[in-house]
Amino acid sequence: SIKETKEAIKENESEYNSSKERIESLNKQIKELTLKNEDLERDKKILNDRINAINRDKHYLSEKIRHLEIQARKKQTELSDIRKNVYDFEAKTTEYSFKIDGLKERIRNSYKVNLDEIELNIEDNLDWMMIEKEITELKKQLEVMGEVSLVAIEEHQELRQRFEFLNRQREDLEEARDSLNKAIEKIDRTTARMFKETFEDIRKAFKEFFRMLFGGGRCELRLVNERNILESGIDIIAQPPGKKLQNISLLSGGEKALCAIALLFAVFKVKPSPFCVLDEIDAPLDESNIDRFTKVLKEFVKTSQFIIITHNKKTIEMADVMYGVTMEESGVSKLVSVKFAEDREKETAGIN
């Protein structure tokens, strides 16, 4: 009936969605790697922020050291000038003292004059006043200068040590940042390579099973954005025999079902599992397509166990064990099992 057909189509679309989920599981692995990549990017940003903060501290300390060095050089220059002036003054004083002593000796020997009176006259000389004034000014300059701060040297050494420590820390952070960048690049390359290899294997297997299920035709899995395969979507293009190449969304319900089955088997072939559950996957298929479906299914039963919910006789015939659910009494279900494999062996033995 129409209702049963609609239900079959709906269930088939569910199977199609489940096959898409297998692809999405692969994409989920890729997204997990992408999230790890994003975590590394965040760690990288934190390291960059710390490096920037250290660089700012480094710049501040460098400016402070430079300012202290300029002040120290300026003070040292001023102190050197004052010391030079004092030295010159002392030299002149010594020179004048020698001259005075010489004059005293000459006057004493030549003129027999009272030297004490001559000394008083000399002390009242204007040149001595100028000398005293110069001494006073030099003392004032020394007072303005003050003592040379030895603490500035210690502070300079501490700042220099702090600067070297921060510089080493910055180098360590830059090295860690470079290491993170290399790890991110390696993860991106590995993820892209794994996805590309897996996608290519699934694409080839999809073409193979598509031709087997449709009895010909061609199909294609395409990346929406080949430049960024880790974030790209996937389009399914199919051309059943006698039809034009078109997107899967434009196919009929039965054709969509076969495409979904082909994609499901392609994924299962690339990454098989010990068992697989199929819920009325064959409902929308006609007898010829059922034959192709069971033929493809037989290729996998050697390595995997299939649990199939079905009402199709041909699908049931290929099973090793059948479990039937009946309701002999209202509200009471009963499970009946039949082992086809033993019956086949008996029939074969009887023929022989």
Domain range list for the chain: 47-186
Q: Model confidence over 209-239: pLDDT tens digits?
A: 999 988 889 999 988 888 888 888 888 888 8
Rounded to an integer, what distance in angstroms lies between the CA atom of residue 12 and that of residue 103?
A: 133
- Comparing 192 with 99, the larger pLDDT belongs to 192
Residues 155-195: tens digit of each pLDDT: 778 878 887 888 888 888 888 888 878 887 888 788 888 88
- The better pLDDT of the pair 156, 82 is held by 82
What phi and psi values does residue 164 have, to the nearest 5 degrees? -65, -40
What pTM was estimated for this model as a whole? 0.48
CA distances from 270 to 19, 26, 157, 203, 350 (A): 13, 12, 67, 10, 40
pLDDT of res. 346 = 52
List the end-to-end C-alpha distance of the chain, in Å, as a whole number: 45
Mean pLDDT to the nearest integer, 75-102: 82
Please give the mean pLDDT across all residues of the chain: 81
Question: In this predicted structure, which of 87-101, 107-121, 133-147 has the lowest mean pLDDT?
Answer: 107-121
* Residue 164: alpha-carbon gap to chain centroid: 29
Is the CB of residue 149 less than 8 Å from the CB of residue 97? Answer: no
Could you report the per-residue pLDDT of 243-289, keeping only the tens digit for each?
A: 888 888 888 888 888 899 999 999 989 988 888 899 998 888 888 88
